Amino acid sequence: MAAATVVAVASGSAAVAGALKDVKPHEAVTRAHTMPIQGIDVSYWQGDIDWRQVRAAGVQFAFIKATEGGDHLDPMFLRNWHAAKRAGLARGAYHFIYWCRYASEQAAWFVRNVPRDPDALPPVLDLEWHTHSKTCPGKISRELALKKIKIILDAMEAHTGKRPIIYTDPAFHKDVLQGEFKSYHYWLRSVAAEPDKIYRGRSWAFWQFTTTGTVPGIKGKVDRNIYNGSPSDWDRVLRWLEASR
């Protein structure tokens, strides 16, 4: 029931998507900065973060890297996880899939390292090809990729009680995800245009609109995101999280 509820809430409004349609690429990204519900995603690359300053700047949510593959824990995860909550941000943990590792091992690693926090956002599975990886640059078949994805998604949902969110980029979506996992919410990377221009027919809950953003409280660049909904939609998400405690 909990997983179904958060999915329904997050898709509650098409107002933001509608406002961005028929806008030129650079205008879409500029407009994204003015959307009401702003967020970031971070890992240890951002170093020490002043989360209270981030929240004071208007950022309302953060996706925080937790795990990668079957044996890597982001060294800043727990620090960011607890500090973001203390600062008043809604936050969720994400797992970066590694195609050269068994899905069952990756699922177990996520479960082992990510707290089962009732008031957290749904977990995220980060799906993309690793063409620049030194240890696992190759692609696998679509069939095998889908099997691995499903195993990890199921384990995430069982652990957290919430239907996971799928993060992806245009290349991986085209190769593997097109037409798949329709009951899941998507967090889409699109740095050149509004997602509807790139991911035809795919509904989305979150949009990563730049990887070179700036936010007070973070030194250097940080990924910027928006939630695809109105402030009242977001309030419903927060009330749902509050009720889950």
Residues designated catalytic: 41, 128
Integer CA distances (angstroms), 163 to 43, 78, 104, 196, in order = 22, 22, 18, 23
Spatial distance between the Cα atoms of 93 and 124, rounded to a whole number of angstroms: 6
Spatial distance between the Cα atoms of 211 and 222, rounded to a whole number of angstroms: 6
Cα-based angle 27, 33, 39 (whole degrees, multiple of 5): 140
- Phi first, then psi: what are they for 128, rounded to 5°? -160, 160
DSSP 164: P
Dihedral class, residue 69 (left if φ above 0, else alpha if ψ from -120 to 50, else beta): left
Percent of the chain as helix, strand, coil, to the nearest 5? 40, 20, 40
In the three-class reduction of DSSP (H, G, I as helix; E, B as strand; rest coil), residue 62 is classed as: strand
Distance of CA 155 to the CA centre of its chain: 17
Q: Are 162 and 125 in contact (CB under 8 A)?
A: no
